[in-house]
Amino acid sequence: MSRMLRRARLDDLAAVMELERATFTDDAWPEDAMRREFESPHGYYLVVVDDAAPEVILGYAGLLAGRGSGEGDIQTIAVASDLRGQGVGRTLMQALIAEARRRGAERLFLEVRADNPVARALYDSLGFVEIGVRPRYYRGGIDAVLMRLDVPEPVTAPASPQEAP
């Protein structure tokens, strides 16, 4: 399977929402909120698709960062369950970090469910550090762990979306 990382388009919204609801069954974003994110001039959303079936979204992630604001926020990230552990999430995150850097962000924030050690390990490996906890933030009383990355200078930053693992 050949995968491609590209900028999300509004016509991807239905497929993104399908993956959103499958991934975050109790905490999925409403479709109108996701649409606003896609349309925001401060948003930057990426999708991973299979070249043979480009209408199927295999993963997506979003960044909110105004140009020159100095800060950005990873809004969401999801990868199809059968592709987890294959580097898709890392590729999405690295592309968002690179875009945050291009937009002038010096700090990047995210939150992750305390009961998601796989995502937490990914963020740790990318240099994010825990800065706080929002107790019982998610349904079911699950805490949200707040994390920050001091955006590093580029070693070799990708110029644009590219082939995904």
Q: What are the pLDDT digits (tens) for 106-119?
A: 999 999 999 999 99
Catalytic-residue membership of 111: yes
As a whole number, mean pLDDT of residues 60-78 equals 93
Catalytic residue among 44, 45, 60, 123: 123
Domain residue extents for the chain: 3-156
Q: Is the pLDDT of residue 157 over 90?
A: no
Residue 101 Cα distances to 13, 52, 123, 154, angstroms: 26, 32, 17, 8
Q: What is the pLDDT of residue 54?
A: 79
**Contact 31/17 with Cβ under 8 angstroms?**
yes
Q: What is the pLDDT of residue 56?
A: 86
Q: Name 140's Cβ contacts closer than 8 Å, sequence gap at least 6.
A: 26
**What digits encode the pLDDT tens for the residues 81-128?**
998 888 999 999 999 999 999 999 999 999 999 999 999 999 999 999
**What digits encode the pLDDT tens for the residues 18-58?**
999 999 988 889 999 999 999 999 999 999 998 888 788 99
pLDDT band, very low/low/confident/very high, at 66 (cuts 50, 70, 90): confident
Q: Is the pLDDT of residue 156 over 60?
A: no
Q: Name 83's Cβ contacts closer than 8 Å, sequence gap at least 6.
A: 58, 59
Q: What is the pLDDT of residue 160?
A: 56
Catalytic residue among 20, 37, 99, 111: 111
Catalytic-residue membership of 123: yes
CATH, domain 3-156, list 3.40.50.720, 3.30.499.10, 3.40.630.30, 3.30.1330.30: 3.40.630.30
